[in-house]
Amino acid sequence: MFPKKMRIKKVEIARGACALMMAVALCCPAQKKNAPAAKEKPTTAEMTKAASEGDLPMVEALLADGVSIETKDKDGKTILALACAEGRVDVVQVLLAKNADVNAKDKEGATPLMAAAEDGRQQTLALLLAKSADVSAATKDGRTALILAATKGNLTAAQMLVAKNADVNAKTKDGRTPLIEAAASGSLNITQLLLAKNADVNVADKTGATALIEAARHDAMNIGLALVAKNADVNAKTKENETALMLYAEQNDVTMTHALLAKNADATVKDKKGKNALDRAAAHRAVDASMELVRVAEKASAPAANAAPPAPAAKK
């Protein structure tokens, strides 16, 4: 048996504990079992993923949950731009119907139209153009949708943009034009399209390269012929003093070597290493082009076969 005072003390402690438990219960009522968890807020990542993958039901559900139609990824691309780049036509249609910004720019200044043009997404491109997307918009480095289409050789995209009066002479900060890019990409059809719209054949980029020089770098014979037919400067030089004749000759392109010489291309020009067209052709064992250069040089230096005899000296 405990002493009476100790028994009283234990009773008081027990009463105090009960009072404390009751107070806690009143302040913090127990949660009901199986209570539904709080709904998580939709994330930007979910929306950008759904738009890029073409998950239309998810896109619509997220929009209904309050996710902005102008949601952007880490690069500043809107969900419309992401859907356009991947050719998600149904998603693009829904976003445009809800008035998504067709001219929204990402961190580099690219628009949804550029994304569609660069990747050759014809259907999404048509949808954007129907919503009056700006064909003249340019990235921070000056690339337009038409320049991007030409760079990638996307003919149909280029045709659609030209039909909407895209500038065929637009320039990047490096001086690259749609025509220069078309020649570099080896697209004869885009080159012809741009020439038909009076693209400037003699614009040079910051390195001095013209469309003809770019065609020569890639040994694009048909593009070269098309440019020469439009009076491309056959003696244009890069900052390294390279000419189209040098470049075509060293690749043993006899057709273009002949065509350029017929347009009075200067075979005596030397590059910064002191090499002319014949030197470079010989160094690359371009036998046929070398022979053509020699033939033309000999013809130019030989006296005319049918030259009239010199007039007799006048009698004093």
Q: How does residue 284 score in pLDDT terms, banded at 50, 70 and 90?
A: very high
* 13: pLDDT strictly greater than 60: no
* 316: pLDDT strictly greater than 50: no
Residue 280 near residue 249 (C-beta atoms within 8 A): yes
Q: Which residue has the higher pLDDT, 213 or 33?
A: 213
Q: Which residue has the higher pLDDT, 161 or 13?
A: 161
Q: How does residue 52 score in pLDDT terms, banded at 50, 70 and 90?
A: very high
The single-letter code of the amino acid at 260 is L
Q: How does residue 17 score in pLDDT terms, banded at 50, 70 and 90?
A: low
pLDDT at 299: 85
Mean pLDDT of 122-132: 97
Q: How does residue 32 score in pLDDT terms, banded at 50, 70 and 90?
A: very low
pLDDT at 306: 53
Number of alpha helices (DSSP H) and beta strands (DSSP E) in the chain: 17, 0
pLDDT at 301: 79
| Short-list 125, 119, 135, CA closest to 168 | 135
Tokens of 31: 């949660």
pLDDT at 36: 46
What pLDDT digit, counting tens, does each position of 228-272 carry? Answer: 999 999 999 999 999 999 999 999 999 999 999 999 999 999 999
pLDDT at 229: 97
What pLDDT digit, counting tens, does each position of 63-106 carry? Answer: 999 999 999 999 999 999 999 999 999 999 999 999 999 999 99
- How does DSSP assign 135-164, residue by residue? TT-B-TT--BHHHHHHHHT-HHHHHHHHHT
Tokens of 170: 């637009």
Q: How does residue 217 score in pLDDT terms, banded at 50, 70 and 90?
A: very high
What's the CA angle centered on 301, arms 295 and 303, to 5 degrees? 115
* 1: pLDDT strictly greater than 90: no
| Short-list 155, 151, 96, 105, CA closest to 129 | 96
Average model confidence (pLDDT) across the chain: 89
| Short-list 185, 174, 256, CA closest to 209 | 174
CA-CA distance, 199 to 227, in Å (whole number)? 11
Q: How does residue 169 score in pLDDT terms, banded at 50, 70 and 90?
A: very high
Q: How does residue 204 score in pLDDT terms, banded at 50, 70 and 90?
A: very high
Tokens of 101: 């910004």
pLDDT at 23: 53
Residue 157 near residue 165 (C-beta atoms within 8 A): no
Least confident interval from 9-13, 222-226, 309-313: 9-13
Q: How does residue 137 score in pLDDT terms, banded at 50, 70 and 90?
A: very high
* Global pTM value: 0.81
